[in-house]
Every structure is written in structure tokens, then in C-alpha cells.
């Protein structure tokens, strides 16, 4: 299905949570000199303009990154993420928002590598343009990341982060996420896997974290953030979450200290809240 374009949602509350966690995961990998691979099954375009094109339609960034980027009480734990957003924008107004591959590219070292999948042809072309200068470290496949992931597992350095954040426009995506991770763990049991999901009024959203936590990973972390009351119509996303398999041991404490502030800043009504839980050796 080729209708989804992440540019419509760039910089929204879900991106803030997802990319904050992603930056923490990559910074942890960087604590060791040994190389790592980053594999993204739904990479998008890599970076997005906020003041023109798709992003202006609903201006979702205004209730996301725009609420926190200049916050005077920004927690120190969020500063690396915010500094990277600022690096793309330079001084002045917020004009651009990075996609997941851009955050990775900024944190990569010489021996680290990215493997990116993007099925939408227009976004795949933009992705290639955005990372042309580091083409020696990046392979971009205009293909289905669910099907293509297995070809890169295990990565040669046996260290890596796999990000899976499909649009879930097709209900079967929920089951495909689980079967994809099941297969990935057989090939690369020690890898870190981050799975993003939306909070919607449908049972699949509530079942997915349960199914992922039941997989044979050594440990897991589950975080989600609700920003407003679900709509009476049942339409729309009222929050989002991530399940991280084999997370770094530091992540839970970082989130525990940061989420109260982030939820207060991004919350839109009295229903704003967060959930954080861990299992296994996490």
C-alpha cells in the first residue's frame, strides 16, 4: 500500500517520543568502539520541511516538537535529541524535522552502517538524495522492509538497532510485525529491536505490546504516552508507544525521569498520561 506519507505527521507527539528513545538507543551503542548497524524497515524520506508541502496540512508538529524545542526547563536527558533537531534547523525558526535515518546519520561513526527500506517510490527517491553524501555507509532498498529485513541479519559486527514503525494502515501489519520480529530474533538474538505503534481505538493496538513482550528476547521495555482523550468518533490517534526488545539497562531510568515532564508538555487535556514497564533482565 503506497498511500502513506510520513511528512503529514512529521514532528508530532509520536515522533518526539519515538526519536527521543531512538537517540538514547544509538547513544548507548556509541559507548563502545565496536561498529554497529542500523536497519529501518519503513524509513520515509529521511527529513521533512515543516513550513511547506504535506507537513502544513495538519501542522501536527505544532502540538509536538514545537512545544518543547525552546522549553526553558528542558530536562538534560532530552538535550541530545533536541540538539540534533536544532542542528538540522540552525539558528532561528523551526523549519525542518529529521526522520529516523537522519538522527542515525548524525550519530554514526566511520565504521557504522545504515540499511534503509522505503516502499513509497517518491520517498525512496528523496531518501537517496538526502543521504547521497554518505552513500558509502548507506544502502537504500525501495522495497518492503518486512520482507527485506532478514537479508541483513545478523549484521557483520553483531551489534545493531532495528527500527520497525509501519503506518499500520493495513490491519495485517500488526501480525506481520510480530512474525517479522520472531524471525529476526532467530537470526540475530542479541540485537536491539524498537517497534513503534499508535494508540488507536482498535484491539490490535492493545494486543501488539502483549504479543511482543511474549517473544523470546532476553528483556523488554514498553513505554506509551497518551496525549488526549480518545475521540468519541473512534477516529484518530490519541497517543503512541514503543516496545524495545533487548533494551540497554539505562533506558528505563532515563524514561522514568523524563516522561512526567514530556507528558505534561505534550498533553492536551486531563487524560494525558504515560505507562512504563519492563520485563526480563531489563
Least confident of 2-16, 83-97, 258-272: 2-16
Cβ atoms within 10 Å of 279's Cβ, excluding its own? 12
Residue (of 45, 41, 42) closest to 53 by Cα position: 45
**pLDDT tier at 52, thresholds 50, 70, 90:** low
Instruction: Examine the pLDDT at 56 and tell me if it is beyond 70.
Output: no
What's the first-to-final CA gap in the chain, in angstroms? Answer: 36
Backbone angles phi, psi at 55, to 5 degrees: -65, -20
- The yes-or-no verdict on residue 38 having pLDDT over 50 is yes
Contact 187, 154 (CB under 8 A): yes
If one compares 49 and 211, the residue with the highest pLDDT of the two is: 211
In this structure, of 18-27, 29-38, 57-66, 194-203, the range with the lowest mean pLDDT score is 57-66
Q: How far apart are CA 50 and CA 64, in angstroms?
A: 12
Catalytic residue numbers read 165
pLDDT > 60? residue 1: no
Predicted confidence at residue 233, as pLDDT, reads 75
11: left (phi over 0), alpha (psi -120 to 50) or beta: left
Q: How confident is the model at residue 245 (pLDDT cuts 50, 70, 90)?
A: very high
- The mean predicted confidence, pLDDT, of the chain is 93
**Residue 3 binned pLDDT confidence (cut-offs 50, 70, 90):** very low
pLDDT at residue 54 greater than cutoff 80: no
Q: What is the pLDDT of residue 51?
A: 81
Q: Average of pLDDT values for 256-272?
A: 97
The pLDDT of residue 176 is 97
Tell me what percent of the residues of the chain surpass a pLDDT of 90. Answer: 83
* pLDDT for residue 75: 97
- The pLDDT tens digits for 186-241 are 999 999 999 999 999 989 999 999 999 999 999 999 999 999 999 877 778 999 99
- Residue 2's pLDDT band (boundaries 50, 70, 90)? very low
pLDDT over 50 (residue 132): yes
Question: Binning pLDDT at 50, 70 and 90, where does residue 117 land?
Answer: very high
Joined grid coordinates for residue 50? 515543516
- pLDDT band (50, 70, 90) for residue 57: low
| pLDDT, tens digit (0-9, with 9 covering 90-100), for 71-97 | 999 999 999 999 999 999 988 889 999
pLDDT in tens, 141-150: 999 999 999 9
pLDDT of amino acid 6: 67
User: Cα dihedral sign for 128, 129, 130, 134?
Assistant: positive
Domains, the chain, in order of start with CATH, read: 16-46+101-280 (3.40.50.150)
d(CA 47, CA 130): 8
Q: What is the average per-residue pLDDT within 135-154? A: 96
Could you count the other beta carbons within 10 Å of the beta carbon of residue 35?
18
Amino acid at each position: 500500500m503506497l498511500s502513506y506519507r510520513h511528512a503529514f505527521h512529521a514532528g508530532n507527539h509520536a515522533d518526539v517520543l519515538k526519536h527521543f528513545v531512538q537517540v538514547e538507543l544509538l547513544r548507548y551503542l556509541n559507548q563502545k568502539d565496536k561498529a554497529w548497524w542500523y536497519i529501518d524497515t519503513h524509513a520515509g524520506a529521511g527529513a521533512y520541511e515543516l513550513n511547506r508541502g504535506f507537513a502544513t496540512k495538519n501542522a501536527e508538529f505544532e502540538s509536538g516538537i514545537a512545544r518543547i524545542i525552546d522549553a526553558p526547563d528542558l530536562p538534560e536527558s532530552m538535550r541530545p535529541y533536541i540538539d540534533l533537531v536544532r542542528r538540522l534547523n540552525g539558528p532561528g525558526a523551526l523549519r525542518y524535522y529529521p526522520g529516523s535515518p537522519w538522527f542515525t546519520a548524525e550519530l554514526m561513526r566511520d565504521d557504522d552502517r545504515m540499511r534503509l527500506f522505503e516502499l513509497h517510490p517518491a520517498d525512496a527517491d528523496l531518501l537517496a538524495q538526502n543521504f547521497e553524501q554518505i552513500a558509502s555507509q548507506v544502502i537504500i532498498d525501495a522495497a518492503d522492509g518486512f520482507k527485506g529485513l532478514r537479508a541483513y541479519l545478523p549484521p557483520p559486527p553483531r551489534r545493531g538497532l532495528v527500527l520497525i514503525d509501519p503506518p499500520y494502515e493495513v490491519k495485517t501489519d500488526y501480525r506481520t510485525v510480530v512474525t517479522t520480529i520472531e524471525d529476526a530474533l532467530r537470526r540475530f538474538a542479541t540485537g536491539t529491536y524498537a517497534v513503534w505503534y499508535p494508540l488507536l481505538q482498535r484491539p490490535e493496538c492493545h494486543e501488539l505490546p502483549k504479543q511482543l513482550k511474549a517473544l523470546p528476547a532476553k528483556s523488554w521495555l514498553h513505554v506509551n504516552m497518551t496525549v488526549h482523550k480518545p475521540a468519541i468518533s473512534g477516529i484518530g490517534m490519541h497517543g503512541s508507544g514503543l516496545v524495545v526488545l533487548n533494551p540497554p539497562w539505562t533506558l528505563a531510568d532515563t524514561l522514568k525521569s523524563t516522561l512526567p515532564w514530556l507528558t505534561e508538555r505534550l498533553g492536551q487535556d486531563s487524560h494525558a498520561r504515560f505507562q512504563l514497564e519492563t520485563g526480563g533482565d531489563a
